[in-house]
Chains A and B, each alone.
Chain A
Amino acid sequence: GAGVSQSPSNKVTEKGKDVELRCDPISGHTALYWYRQSLGQGLEFLIYFQGNSAPDKSGLPSDRFSAERTGGSVSTLTIQRTQQEDSAVYLCASSLGGGIGYTFGSGTRLTVV
C-alpha cells in the first residue's frame, strides 16, 4: 500500500479481555516496529521485526504482550487480559531494511474500561 495501515483506528475493550491490533506496512519494507504512546508520554518502543531475523522483544512490558509478523508483511500485536494501564495509542512504523526512512501509521487508540 501507499502507507502504513493500522486497524482498528479505535478500540474500546473491557478489562480482562484480549485484543488484537493489526499493522499492514508499506510493501517491501522489511523492518516493522511497534510503539506505545501513553497520555503525556513519548513513544515507548515495544518490538522490532527485521526480515527473517528473530524479533527484538526487549520493549514488551509484560508477558501479556506478544506480536507476530506473518510472511514478512502484516503484523499483529496481541494484548491478553487487558488492564486499564494498557490504555494508550499503539503506533506501527515500517522502514526499508535498516534504513532511517520510517513511515508511521495513524495508530490504534486502545481504551480499557
Chain B
Amino acid sequence: AQTVTQSQPEMSVQEAETVTLSCTYDTSESDYYLFWYKQPPSRQMILVIRQEAYKQQNATENRFSVNFQKAAKSFSLKISDSQLGDAAMYFCAYRSASGATNKLIFGTGTLLAVQP
C-alpha cells in the first residue's frame, strides 16, 4: 500500500523569505501523481501544485515550486517570497495513475506560520 509521510508537523518562515516543506512517499508503482494542497482555516482544500511522475521537469506555479526526486521518492514544496496569506496547513498527497483507484492518499500535514 502507498503511504505519504510529512515529517515536519510545524514550520515557520519570515515574510518575504523562502521555506521548504518536506514530503516522502512509498510506492511500488512507476506512474502516479503527486499534489500539494493548502488548507486555510476555512477548511477548504486548495490545490497548490501537482506533478506527474513521468515528467522529469519540476512543476512550478508562480512562487511555488517542487523538487521531485523520483528515485528517492521525495516531493518537497518550496515557497518563495512568503506572504502572510501563505499561512495554512499544507498536505502532500499521492494518487495512482493506474486507474484501479482514484483516491488521494494524504500525509499528516505541515502547519506553516508566516511571521511579519
Q: Which residues of A are at the interface with B, using a C-beta cutoff of 8 A?
A: 31, 33, 35, 40-45, 48, 50, 56, 59, 89, 91, 93, 95, 98, 100, 102, 104-107, 109
**Chain B interface main SS type:** loop
Across the interface, A43 reaches (CB within 8 A) one of B42, B44, B102, B106, namely B106
The reply to whether the CB of B78 lies closer than 8 angstroms to some CB of chain A is no
Give Cα A59–Cα B104 distance, bound, in whole angstroms: 12
A-B contact pairs, 17 of them (CB 8 A): A40-B108, A42-B4, A42-B91, A42-B108, A43-B45, A43-B104, A45-B103, A45-B104, A48-B102, A56-B103, A89-B43, A98-B102, A100-B50, A102-B45, A105-B44, A107-B43, A107-B44
Contact of A31 among B44, B102, B105 (CB under 8 A): B102
Whether A104 touches B91, Cβ cut-off 8 Å, given contacts A42-B106, A95-B102, A98-B99, is: no
Q: Mark B44-88, 1 if CB is under 8 A from A, else 0.
A: 111100100000000000000000000000000000000000000
Which interface residue of B46, B93, B102 has the most chain A CB atoms within 10 A? B102
Q: Which of B82-116 contact A (CB under 8 A)?
A: 91, 93, 95, 99, 101-109
State the Cβ distance, B7 to closest chain A Cβ, in Å.
13
Q: B33 and A100: CB pair below 8 A?
A: yes
Shortest CB–CB separation between residue A56 and chain B, in angstroms?
6
